[in-house]
Amino acid sequence: MEITELTVKEIVEKIKKKEIGVKETVLAYLKNIEDKDNNIKAFLSINNEEALIKAEELDKENEKNGQIFGIPVAIKDNINVYGTETTAGSKILKGYISPYDATVVKKIKEQNGIIIGKTNCDEFAMGSSTENSAFFNTKNPVNTDYVPGGSSGGSAASVAANEATAAFGSDTGGSIREPAGFCGIVGLKPTYGRVSRYGLIAFGSSLDVIGPLAKNVEDAAILTNVIAGFDYNDETTADLPVENYTAFLKKSVKGKKLGVIKEINDFKIQREVTITLKEAINKLESEGCEIEEVSIPHLKYALPTYYLIAPSEASSNLSRFDGVRYGLQGCGDNLRDFYEDTRTKGFGREVKRRILIGTFALSEGYFDEYYLKASKVRRLIAMDFKKAFEKVDALILPTTATTAFKFNEKKNPLEMYMSDIFTIPMNLAGIPAISIPFGKDNKGLPIGIQIAGKWFEEGEIFQISYALEQLKES
């Protein structure tokens, strides 16, 4: 087996046994990137020199520890990495060199992971296909005629194409889970507050979460061990102990209660996705899981609720990008014209659309009618999940209603927004959720199954998703 086909756990074990070297591993991935990425276009930048220097250092000091010792990791380009360009997929940040590491990146480095490059993404993480990047489209490695999903499409594609052992992305409304589902890999959205957002370029501050994309559930658990935990730099992180998530993997799921949301039948779902979901449920039931139908009555309001709250927060967050301190600078005879020229040239169409929606929702006379009402409905959705979890341990549902679609297939923004209908509710409620590949459609495109759990109980969803992954392979 080629080095680039190995998992995180396998590579770490082989490096520690000196069966392979860290530099050898990094060179293998850099060769894959050189061979494949002109077509896939997962990366915006490659850290060749820095990665090889770090690899040589680790080869000399093999006694060093680290859960991801020597692992080449890709980072979504809205997460700051010291000394590298960080654009968030936008022209307005072109040329911005990060002066610090995000907390997640700092933790990766402390565990002796190697940052191999920054991955392409929808501009400011706004999108479901990575077609909104200001630079180029990333292709789905499974079939390059199709999108990889978004907004973490570059990160998902890098793992699926074996251009990185693992990657990290951000999830505001499904931006880790959807591309994981489309590309046939594993993607986790942790509980809001489980992982620090310090160093993540904000889109929707009450929704954004950083999480891993990996080849299998075990790797995702290892990566979550690395990045989870309280951070003084982020007051929204929870001061709770971090469990060893790999310890949950081989526990029996017998007696676990899984909820099937009856309201998902109100939405149009691709036939193969429905069949695959039933197969997954039957497999888990055969292992002793108890299946119970539950209700999330306000599920139908999740999409409009999200598309008021997220753009409103984006309108506020993106006001800091004015061309004065960093990034693209426009022209103008006065400050107003300077700002306008910078933002007109720097922001893409989708970003401008969401800023306008958010600014309108927050404006005087409309705040109560739109943003405040959406916030109240968000609370109702969270309460729906709380009631469901009084009956069941976790929920099982599709990651997306369809498999990956072709480029330019969804030109209507509303059609594109519907791609996130089964992922958005978890962000609104703040609960953890994981997507794992389970079957394919008649075109050979992957189908993702989603397991969602209670707040801060990532261990439980790792336990169930690992069992499902083993059942798929049996």
Three-class DSSP labels, the chain: CCHHHCCHHHHHHHHHCCCCCHHHHHHHHHHHHHHHHHHHCCEEEECHHHHHHHHHHHHHCCCCCCCCCCCEEEEECCECCCCCECCCCCHHHCCCECCCCCHHHHHHHHCCCEEEEEECCCHHHCCCCCCCCCCCCCCCCCCCCECCCCCCHHHHHHHHCCCCCEEEEEECCCCCHHHHHHHCCEEEECCCCCECCCCECCCCCCCCEEEEEECCHHHHHHHHHHHECCECCECCCCCCCCCCHHHHCCCCCCCCEEEEEHHHHHCCCCHHHHHHHHHHHHHHHHCCCEEEEECCHHHHHHHHHHHHHHHHHHHHHHHHCCCCCCCCCCCCCCHHHHHHHHHHHHCCHHHHHHHHHHHHHHCCCCCHHHHHHHHHHHHHHHHHHHHHCCCCCEEEEECCCCCCCECCCCCCHHHHHHHHCCCHHHHHHCCCEEEEEEEECCCCCEEEEEEEECCCCHHHHHHHHHHHHHHHHC
Active site residue 128: no
* Of 170, 175, 312, 465, catalytic: 175
Cβ neighbours around 323 below 10 Å, total: 19
Q: What is the pLDDT at residue 364?
A: 87
Per DSSP, what are the bridge partners of residue 435? 187, 450
Instruction: Assess whether pLDDT exceeds 70 at residue 455.
Output: yes
**Predicted confidence (pLDDT) per residue in 19-66, tens digit:** 999 999 999 999 999 999 999 999 999 999 999 999 999 999 866 789
**Predicted confidence (pLDDT) per residue in 179-223, tens digit:** 999 999 999 999 999 999 999 999 999 999 999 999 999 999 999
Q: How far is CA 406 from CA 129, 131, 137, 322, 416, in A?
A: 9, 11, 12, 35, 12
* Of 151, 170, 315, 465, catalytic: 151
* Of 9, 54, 76, 107, catalytic: 76
What does the pLDDT average to over 133-158?
Answer: 98
Residue type, 113: G
pTM above 0.85, yes or no: yes
What does the pLDDT average to over 287-303?
Answer: 98
Active site residue 175: yes
Residues in Cβ contact with 307 at an 8 Å cutoff, skipping those fewer than 6 apart: 357, 417
Question: Average pLDDT over the chain, rounded to whole?
Answer: 96
Instruction: Assess whether pLDDT exceeds 90 at residue 228.
Output: yes
Q: What is the pLDDT at residue 325?
A: 86
Report CA torsion sign: 228, 231, 234, 236: positive
**Predicted confidence (pLDDT) per residue in 361-414, tens digit:** 999 888 999 999 999 999 999 999 999 999 999 999 999 999 999 999 998 999
Domains of the chain by range and CATH? 1-474 (3.90.1300.10)
Residue 404 CA from chain centroid, whole number: 16
